[in-house]
Structures are given as C-alpha cells and as structure tokens.
Amino acid sequence: MPSSYFTSIEEREKIFCTELVKYGVEYEKAVIAAKIIASG
C-alpha cells in the first residue's frame, strides 16, 4: 500500500485538533483531546 494511506500521530493530532476547534472547543482542551484520540 502507498504510504499516503498512513498518517503519523502528529498529523492525526493536528487534524483532530482543527476539527474540535472548528466545532467550538477551546484550543487548550482541543489539544489535549486530540492527543488522546490520535493515540488510540
């Protein structure tokens, strides 16, 4: 499979954080939540 199908944990954290902030979550809380979601 091409490597483009795989994303690093850091990339996933950025994606989740952006989405959470977009939906109104405070940035600091979004960063913490994104780390938890991306690691799972």
Q: For the chain, which residues make up each domain, given as ranges?
A: 7-39
Provide the whole-model pTM. 0.77
Return averaged pLDDT per consecutive 10 residues of the chain, 40 residues in all.
70 95 97 93
How far is it, in rounded angstroms, from Cα 15 to Cα 40?
A: 14
**For residue 21, how far is the Cα from the chain centroid?**
10
Residue 40's pLDDT is 84
Q: Residue 3 in contact with residue 16, Cβ under 8 Å?
A: no
Residue 14: what pLDDT?
95
